[in-house]
Amino acid sequence: MSTSILCRRGIPALAIVVGLAGCAGQTPTGPFVPGAAGQSSPQAAPLHGGFRMFAANRDGGSVVSFESTANGNVAPIATIAGSKTTLTQPDALTMDTAGNIYVANDGGTAVAVFGPHANGNVKPARVIGGSNSNLGPTEGIVVDASGHLWASSYTNEDVTEYAAGASGNVSPINTIAGSNTQLSEPLGVAMNAKGQLFVANGSGSIVIFASGASGNATPLGVISGGSSGLSRPFALAFDDRGRLLVADESSGILVFAKGVSGNVAPVARITSASYPAGVMADSKGHIYAAEFSNDTIKEFARNANGNATPLRTIEGPNTTLDGPNSLAR
């Protein structure tokens, strides 16, 4: 792996690779308790329902989980870490509808799958990887509605698809690759309600593939150009309105209207999300950004734009956040 990827903390000018986060697997949790230990008073009362939020903690070598109402210097409610987990520098994270947690290490060529209640130094329920899998250094993963896993490889410049429940040294059931695809150092991936696959290119664009795309497929569209504001897009997600959310290292959180492509401007750009490496939205459209360098997670209102004040920020030593990137719920 290149030095620019391994040493990205403290070297923001280099091309840095991080993963995506999807949104699935809600688990209800309790309400915020004013004055409770480790929690600070929220700047605004959360308007969303309860869920558990997961973050890939790249430099901490762990996956941490917080209640939906977590705020301030609060400890995670669960942590997956230790020698049995196979986690070293986890930075690609997603979940399926059953709440299973899928994790790939920074530059790793395998995907570990943990059960919904995994906690501590536990073995993955299964691992997808090996020579037959054709997994290259994996920085983006997403699970579709059928339970199929999709994974990007920035060196192979492809996206591979695996059957639901796949385990071990299995072959992909589909590969998107070739000159027509316009894949260029693919990083974060996300899938919308139509099954269309969105892939962030490290070269500064987002390519969109039709549901069922295979082989040397031509994209349905490409978001790129000076108006887009894209520079180093890493993580992708969708909100409840189908808007595309992009965590861009240089530009902050970019929000694109549903269905757009071409050299189009975002409808919002949250510049107060500094060096974001992960993004997600909740059921009310609130936007969450993981700030890799600041070891924080910020929540913003649906209509946040510019130098917006976060509704709340999870930060401090109790959080154990250390290089957070991919987010999922």
Out of 10-14, 138-142, 186-190, 255-259, least confident range: 10-14
Mean pLDDT of 273-287: 96
Which region holds residue 9: left if phi is over 0, alpha if psi is between -120 and 50, else beta?
beta
Contacts of 41 (CB under 8 A, 6+ apart): 34, 35, 71
Which residue matches tokens 């430099």?
59
Residue 67 pLDDT exceeds 90: yes
Which region holds residue 130: left if phi is over 0, alpha if psi is between -120 and 50, else beta?
left
Residue 274 is predicted with a pLDDT of 95
Mode of pairing for the β-strands spanning 174-177 and 276-281: unpaired
Mean pLDDT of 271-289: 96
Out of 3-17, 76-90, 112-126, least confident range: 3-17
Q: Model confidence over 86-97: pLDDT tens digits?
A: 999 999 999 999
- Under the banding of pLDDT at 50, 70 and 90, the label for residue 110 is very high
Identify whether the C-beta of residue 190 lies closer than 8 Å to the C-beta of residue 174: no
Mean pLDDT of 49-71: 92
In this structure, which amino acid lies at residue 181?
T
Mean pLDDT of 91-119: 96
Residue of 263 and 10 predicted with greater confidence = 263
Q: Which of 147, 248, 228, 242 is nearest to 188 (CA)?
A: 248
Mean pLDDT of the chain: 87
Identify whether the C-beta of residue 93 lies closer than 8 Å to the C-beta of residue 54: yes
Mean pLDDT of 62-74: 96
- Number of structural domains, the chain? 1
CA dihedral 247, 102, 151, 60 (to 10 degrees): 50
Residue 44 pLDDT exceeds 50: no
The reported pTM is: 0.86
Quote the CA–CA distance of 188 and 328 in Å, as a whole number: 13
Residue 51 is predicted with a pLDDT of 85
State phi, psi for 326 to the nearest 5 degrees. -60, 140
Instruction: Dump the DSSP string for 130-181.
Output: SGGGT--SEEEEEE-TTS-EEEEETTTTEEEEE-TT--BSPPPSEEEESGGG
Domain extent for 175? 3-328
Q: Model confidence over 204-221: pLDDT tens digits?
A: 999 999 999 999 999 999
Q: What is the CA radius of gyration of the chain?
A: 18
Length of the chain: 329
Highest mean pLDDT among 5-9, 22-26, 86-90: 86-90
State phi, psi for 131 to the nearest 5 degrees. -60, -35
Q: Model confidence over 29-42: pLDDT tens digits?
A: 333 222 222 333 23
Out of 39-48, 59-68, 84-93, least confident range: 39-48
Residue 39: alpha-carbon gap to chain centroid: 25
Residue 32 is predicted with a pLDDT of 28
Mean pLDDT of 111-126: 97
- Under the banding of pLDDT at 50, 70 and 90, the label for residue 69 is very high
Percent of the chain with pLDDT strictly greater than 70: 85
Instruction: Dump the DSSP string for 33-85.
Output: -TT-TT----SS---SPP-EEEEEETTTTEEEEEETT--BS---SEEE-SGGG
Secondary structure of 190-235 as H, E, C letters: EECCCCCEEEEECCCEEEEECCCCCECCCCCEEECCHHHCCCCEEE
Quote the CA–CA distance of 322 and 329 in Å, as a whole number: 19
What CATH number should be reported for the domain holding residue 190? 2.120.10.30
